[in-house]
Amino acid sequence: MAGSPFMHQVRTELRTRQYSIRTEKSYMYWIRWFIRFNDLRHPADMGNSEIERFLNHLAINREVSAATQNQALCAIIFLYRYVIGREISELRYQSTRTPKRMPTVLCEHEVKVILSHLSGKYWLIAAILYGCGLRIQEALSLRIKDIDFDSKSIFVFNGKGGKDRYTLLPESLIIPLADQIKTVRQVHRKDLDEGAGMASVPPALLRKYKGALKLYGWQFLFPSSHRCIHPYDGYVCRHHLHATAFSRKLREAVRASDIAKRVTAHTFRHSFATRLLENGTDIRTVQELLGHTDLRTTEIYTHVIGDRRAGTKSPVDFIV
């Protein structure tokens, strides 16, 4: 099925609409599973009853999380809307309830201990997550041109929901960032000497900036250790470090820190927001820095704040 003309049509539609490679892989996975679950019947010959049966199977028999079930639903809605050309509505299925959980937040001492068990680029990534409030994919997708030392800001391009934003560049990270940029320059020069040096970009950017993609500013701040073939356009490029590489180092650091809390890359973002509110930063400023569309999403962090005081200072500046 993976190489079938129909699945090729689905992939083409995803790429035409400029969905990310991660979303493409996810949607292709769920669509294949949906078709196999219904005995390889063509989606055009199916409808609400088959979709409902599949979603109920995920919720009841497979006991998937609410987020996973919603991801599967989004893939199927995409399939019918853009590939089959039919809107799906009035679905009746057993929805998995999303549990209301408070985010895990680290105190300053815990962050400091974890950082002490990280080094090099992994230390810097964790410091950026905590000091700038970025999501892990946003941090790994940073390019040299996104770092503005003069204005002490970091530009986040195409964050969650396709939104761009600016966030803080902590003073305590200026020197480590400058050192990392020097390392990237050395890697890039070596790539150029070997006839490579192209930055990995989405297809739309390739068409627009192809002549500039060998420039130093387009290189990722945290490049992968190996060059690769671009999955869409087939040219040799250097992508960014994979999130699993950082996650592995973070797990080792948390284990060595003897911290009982469940710590992921996103925990640093939660801690960033909480520290800012504790230090008196206006909640709308925090909302802007985090890139939240809805203020209610930001308000979840008010569960630990005390008195509010004026001034916005990055939490990483208190510990580095």
Q: Is 160 considered catalytic here?
A: yes
Q: Using CA atoms, how far apart are residues 129 and 139, in angstroms rounded to an integer?
A: 7
Catalytically annotated residue among 121, 143, 188, 269? 269
Residue 123 DSSP class? H
Asked if 301 is an active-site residue, the reply is yes
The one catalytic residue in 238, 239, 270, 292 is 292
Q: How far apart are CA 23 and CA 18, in angstroms?
A: 10
From the candidates 41, 81, 266, 308, give the one annotated as an active-site residue.
266
Instruction: Give me the residues paired with residue 155 across strands.
Output: 166
292 is catalytic: yes
Is 230 among the catalytic positions?
no
Q: Which of 135, 188, 230, 249 is catalytic?
A: 135
Q: Which of 25, 92, 109, 160 is catalytic?
A: 160
Q: Specify whether the CB–CB gap between 241 and 120 falls below 8 A.
A: no
22 is catalytic: no
Residue 176, Cβ neighbours under 10 Å: how many?
Answer: 17
> Please, is 271 exposed, middle or buried when counting C-beta atoms within 10 Å of its C-beta (0-12, 13-18, 19+)?
buried
DSSP state of 38: T
The two beta strands, 165-168 and 228-229, are: unpaired
The pair of structure tokens assigned to 114 is 């974890």
Annotated active-site residue in 27, 93, 122, 301:
301
| Interatomic CA distance for residues 301 and 104, integer angstroms | 10
Strand partners, 154: 147, 167
For this structure, is 210 an active site residue?
no
Active-site residue set: 135, 160, 266, 269, 292, 301
